[in-house]
Homo-oligomer: A and B are copies of this chain.
Amino acid sequence: MWLRKGLFILISVCTLQTAAFSQQSQPVRVSMGKVALTFGLVEAGVPVYSVQFAGKEVVLPSRLGFRINENRSLDSNFEVVKIDTISVDESWKPVLGEVANIRNHYKQLTIHLQQKYRGGVQMNVLFRVFEDGVGFRYSFPIQPNLRFFVVSKEITEFNLTGDHKAFWIPGDFDSNEYLYTTSKLSEVDAWKFPMISPGKRDDNIPDQFSVQTPLMLKTADGLYINIHEAALLNYPAMQLHVNKSNYHLNADLVPDAVGNKAYMRAPASTPWRTIMVSDKATEVLASKMILNLNEPSKLANTSWIKPMKYMGVWWEMQVGKTSWNYTDNLDVRSPKGELKPNGRHGANTENVKRYIDFASKHGIAGLLVEGWNRGWEEWTGDWKEDNFDYVTPYPDFDLEEITSYAKAKGVQMIMHNETGGSATNYERHLDTAYRFMNAIGYNAVKTGYVGKIIPRGEHHDGQWMISHYERVAQKAAQHKVMVNMHEPVRPTGLHRTYPNFIASEAGRGNEWNAFSEGSPPEHETILPFTRLMGGPMDYTPGIFKLRNYAKDAPARQMHTTLAKQLALYITMYSPLQMAADLPENYEAHLDAFQFIKEVGVDWDDTQIVEAEPGDYLTIARNEKGTGKWFIGAITDENARLATVSLSFLKKGVKYVATIYADGEGADWKTNPEAYKIEKFIVDESSVLKLKLANGGGAAISLWPATAEDLKGLNEY
């Protein structure tokens, strides 16, 4: 898979890029298209890089390096031993994806550094320069004076050029489910929100000026910059500390239980630090740089990995209609030792069969059932370790009957393994849990990490948990089980390496509209530029009952129109998409539900039609193998006319466009459920004008027209 198409010869003799570079060694420069990367050593042998786009500075000279083993410096006293350059232009096919083929085109610069004194450490920095940005990682070769070491600090800086507009969430080590704030960098304040993660602020957000990645930025002169990481394995997640006075950012690694950052053994590499840059927002969304920086699939056989739509006995718990737990008090038992049911338990056989019936009738492939297994009375909030055993159903969940009923109805059951944050407990049950899934024929699992992590003192985003998520993905792969993780670290493109790690939540999903005051209409226009840069999100769209759904909060409402809920199936990429609402709410709008039934989940091609973070987004996708196209267009709180040229359609072919649009007077706040469905004949010359309501959207399916279609429908 790994093609080296020949050495790239660095022709342009390096000229001093900035005054900061020392005279000691000549800086080196590599460019691809408009993107250029410069590396050099400044005084005292300090390694420094900078990034330019079309001649403009994007990242000013910024330090590289580490502190290890308490306080040993690996950020100065270096000299350049050797520089290797290669150029790669290859392509590869993702198992599931937004496009069928991905081009991986970059120039690589490997800087071999060594500290100058006796016993000095060898450290390499690998830069890959793409047309849409730069990735770099550190690597430590086998060497006599460094084998095991502990990273106590990563020095990496990203020194920006100004007080850019930033789309950020607080640098919480244990939750990425915050609302995004759009502000200047100088206005970052990680303590402005009530802390979401359980625990103490000193433990989870010690730095008031820290943000998580992907950090989306926009400069005053219209550059879009995205800073994140790729291939986060065996290393803690990187947060960014914002120096509000000079707009310098520096890496801040999530610590472990004793304050260390990472335990390494040479040979070792860090994740890639990524800086995407473009003058078009659409190109940021179209970038495949993060995927390209991940290793190819480790799974030899991936034929069992399938994209899927699914329903869940889930939203009804989120809105308070039923409960995950079977009893309200584990201390109350019948004389025979039986639990006393609370009468509100959602995962009961009859209710599950109702969902199976609906999913089967409408061709929704999968069904998730939460709260099926014992432990939901005391599963989180108390740092309890042995909260679930992952194999024991509640008395009213007839596993055998449900399994055979679903099989007869052609519905694929999906396992639910919530850990409550007790990863140690999950790990010691992994073998048994996955053998159980195989035995009962579940081919996918949703895992969850709600609560404080056990091992106690570890964080969701620290090295131990990063390795845990990988262990789970590996274990699942061994058992041919697909994984959808909730509350893990934000993704970094690992679905390339572990294609069964099909999706994650790892951000503020639609569920927040169920149990809280929710997320504003702009939320879904920011997520693709932030959370989704790293990989598919199980956002759980498709809520049709947009008001009066929350049992204890009748005034609560969704922050979108119904048509926007449909558009999210396209704008929020995932090969695993939930139809999140209740069967009865879909029954009330079967015409609109038709879009959810039909929409694809795996794609040959994707066109980012128009995009502006925080404002709007229109994406068109070509379903894998069917020739059908689907379009989603969304806006923030402001109504908008989206203009969509269909020039991507196959030339000479007439298509039926079914447009699910906001209805007359639709408005997320006052009239969210107004929608209209229209059909037209279109072709590649058509230009759609989609009126999106405040907080609205539009969803469109396009498939080749039959003779009958052509006869019965109007041209657009």
Contacts and interface: CB of A to CB of B under 8 A. Distances in A.
B257 A457 contact: yes
A90 to B, nearest CB: 26
Contact of A257 (B260, B428, B455): B455
Contacts of A432: 431
- Count of this chain's copies in the oligomeric assembly: 2
A593 interface: no
A456 interface: yes
A566 to B, nearest CB: 43
B257 A456 contact: yes
Interface stretch (A380-388, A583-591, A599-607): A380-388
Contacts of A467: 385
A243 interface: no
Contacts of A116: none
A257 B427 CA distance: 19
B378 A265 contact: yes
A458 interface: yes
B385 A258 contact: no
A639 interface: no
Given A258-B456, A457-B457, A263 B383 contact: yes
A430 interface: yes
Contact of A430 (B383, B428, B457): B428
Interface string A36-47: 000000000000
Contacts of A331: 142
How many A residues touch the partner, as a band? 20 to 34
Interface string A130-152: 00000000000010000110100
Contacts of A454: 455
A148 B258 CA distance: 25
A150 B456 CA distance: 13
Contacts of A428: 427-428, 430, 471
Nearest to A267: B331
Contact of A431 (B256, B258, B431): B431
B258 A455 contact: no
A424 interface: yes
A457 B263 CA distance: 14
A456 B261 CA distance: 12
Interface in A279-320: none
A435 to B, nearest CB: 9
A289 to B, nearest CB: 30
A385 B383 CA distance: 23
Given A424-B427, A428-B427, A430-B428, A385 B455 contact: no
Given A258-B257, A428-B430, A263 B455 contact: no
Contacts of A384: 148, 263, 265
A467 B464 CA distance: 20
Contact of A427 (B150, B378, B427, B464): B427
A457 B148 contact: no
A455 B265 contact: no
B427 A457 contact: no
A384 to B, nearest CB: 7
Nearest to A332: B142
Interface string A232-263: 00000000000000000000000011101001
A382 to B, nearest CB: 4
Contacts of A464: 455-456
Interface of A: 142, 147-148, 150, 256-258, 260, 263, 265, 331, 378, 382-385, 424, 427-428, 430-432, 454-458, 464, 467, 471
19 contacts: A142-B331, A147-B382, A148-B384, A257-B455, A257-B456, A257-B457, A258-B456, A258-B457, A260-B456, A263-B382, A263-B384, A265-B384, A424-B424, A427-B427, A431-B431, A454-B455, A455-B457, A455-B458, A456-B457
